[in-house]
């Protein structure tokens, strides 16, 4: 089997990391796999692993880039004759859809990794001959919002590298450190975390907030930090660089999964990496009653954008640290059971094989 994995660029990020892990995992079981992307900070790792990479950037979403990329990709497909073109982002999916065409022997597969705001632009992800989603809720989103054929949708949970997170040793420190990790955008909800922390600081002054990441919303968050006077530490780097000193990870997403009995949601890569290090977690889910939080076996859940509920949950963690350690350990075991890279690779390949044998 020959597979092309296509994304805009191979810089640091969840989709990029997942693409790298998927490519390496498929290579290790004998699949001929090539990453098609622009450059980025993952390229040295690609070279170190001796993975195949073709330099085709679709980061800039312009008609000129589209037409140029379409010609290059068509030529590459004609030359290499891959069995699968798996587009893992929207703009590459537009290019890939027209590059494969209706009569191509190359099967067109798409992935949906999050809830997109602009559904018209995002509808291309519903045109895959198979549409891989990372959770049940995203499957509903693909069908109800993007118009996907339910018969084409397949759920494959993301895989997480267990190292180095599972062996991180916690450092002793005086202040209670709360962290939010991810790209600094409005939909990540870090502004709500900052407001919640400002409430908590009134009764627990010895807490610190780390926001780890960068993005277009950073200046607004810095302005809010000055207004609230909470002295947020704005940091950059890998999650693993900071987990040894983080006491609580909060993932305050505005667009998020829905709480469903018996269904495994996708809470985000940062949540599961934190849980692997036995760090307590608070995150958001639709369906949690407004004004309160829910304590599960593995984390605390609050409604999206509910600042008072988030503040209550943070206070609960601070005041019940021994109980939260037990919950964090159960969180680690849950991630190990459900989110290995091996299961992601195996299930993704099964989707490809099913499509090729139709």
User: What string of H, E and C letters represents the secondary structure of 30-71?
Assistant: CCEEEEEEECCCCHHHHHHCCCEEEECCCCCCCHHHHHHHHH
Same domain, 202 and 174: yes
Strand segments, DSSP code E, in the chain are 2-9, 32-38, 52-55, 84-87, 107-112, 130-133, 153-155, 176-181, 207-212, 233-235, 248-251, 281-284, 294-295, 300-302
Same domain, 58 and 201: no
Contact 187, 253 (CB under 8 A): yes
Same domain, 215 and 346: no
Count of CB atoms within 10 A of residue 143's CB? Answer: 17
pLDDT digits over 221-245, tens only? 999 999 999 999 999 988 889 999 9
Contact 138, 112 (CB under 8 A): yes
Q: What is the pLDDT of residue 352?
A: 98
Q: What is the pLDDT of residue 342?
A: 95
3-state DSSP call for residue 84?
strand
Radius of gyration of the chain (CA): 21
Same domain, 130 and 8: yes
- Of 42, 156, 160, the C-alpha closest to 110 is 156
Same domain, 192 and 127: no
CB-based burial label for 98 (10 Å; 0-12, 13-18, 19+): middle
Number of domains in the chain: 2
Give 213's Cβ-side CA count (13 Å radius): 22
3-state DSSP call for residue 246?
coil
pLDDT digits over 93-125, tens only? 999 999 998 778 999 999 998 888 767 899 999
Task: List CB contacts of 69: < 8 A, sequence separation 6 or more.
Answer: 56, 57, 58, 95
Q: What is the pLDDT of residue 239?
A: 84
Q: In which domain, by residue range, is 105 found? A: 2-159+340-356
pLDDT digits over 316-350, tens only? 999 999 999 999 999 999 999 999 999 999 999 99
d(CA 136, CA 129): 18
Same domain, 283 and 303: yes
Same domain, 147 and 252: no
Q: What is the pLDDT of residue 238?
A: 82
3-state DSSP call for residue 276?
helix
Same domain, 346 and 331: no
Q: What is the pLDDT of residue 81?
A: 95
Q: What is the pLDDT of residue 137?
A: 87
Same domain, 101 and 169: no
Q: What is the pLDDT of residue 358?
A: 80
Q: What is the pLDDT of residue 183?
A: 86
Same domain, 98 and 188: no
Same domain, 231 and 352: no
What are the helix (H) ranges across 229-340? 269-276, 307-319, 321-338
Same domain, 95 and 206: no
For residue 93, give the CATH number of its domain.
Answer: 3.40.50.2000
């Amino acid at each position: 089997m020959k597979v092309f994995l296509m994304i805009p660029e191979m810089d640091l990020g969840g989709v990029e990391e997942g693409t790298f892990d998927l490519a390496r995992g498929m290579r290790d079981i004998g699949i001929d796999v090539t990453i098609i992307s622009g450059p980025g900070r993952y390229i040295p790792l690609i070279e170190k692993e001796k993975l195949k990479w073709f330099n085709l950037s679709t980061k800039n979403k312009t008609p000129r880039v589209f037409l140029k990329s379409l010609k290059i990709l068509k030529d590459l497909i004609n030359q290499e004759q891959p069995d699968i073109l798996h587009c893992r982002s929207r703009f590459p999916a537009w290019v890939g859809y027209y590059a494969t065409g209706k009569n191509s022997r190359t099967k067109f597969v798409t992935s949906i990794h999050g809830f997109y705001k602009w559904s018209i632009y995002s509808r291309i992800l519903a045109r895959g001959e198979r549409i891989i989603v990372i959770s049940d809720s995203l499957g509903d989103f693909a069908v109800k919002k993007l118009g996907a054929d339910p018969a084409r949708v397949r759920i494959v949970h993301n895989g997480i590298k267990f190292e180095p997170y599972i062996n991180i040793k916690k450092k002793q420190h005086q202040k209670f450190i709360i962290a939010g990790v991810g790209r600094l955008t409005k939909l990540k909800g870090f502004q709500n975390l900052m407001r919640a922390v400002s409430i908590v600081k009134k009764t627990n002054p010895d807490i610190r907030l780390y926001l780890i990441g960068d993005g277009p919303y950073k200046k607004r968050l810095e302005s809010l930090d000055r207004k609230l006077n909470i002295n947020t530490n704005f940091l950059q780097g890998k999650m693993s660089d900071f987990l040894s000193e983080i006491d609580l990870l909060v993932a305050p997403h505005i667009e998020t999964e829905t709480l469903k009995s018996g269904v495994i949601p996708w809470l985000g890569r940062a949540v599961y990496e934190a849980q692997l290090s036995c760090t307590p977690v608070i995150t958001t889910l639709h369906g949690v009653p407004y004004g309160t939080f829910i304590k599960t076996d593995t984390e605390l859940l609050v409604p999206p954008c509910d600042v008072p509920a988030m503040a209550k949950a943070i206070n609960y963690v601070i005041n019940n640290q021994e109980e939260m350690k037990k919950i964090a350990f159960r969180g680690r075991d849950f991630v190990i059971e459900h989110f290995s890279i091996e299961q992601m690779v195996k299930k993704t390949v099964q989707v490809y094989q099913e499509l090729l044998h139709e």
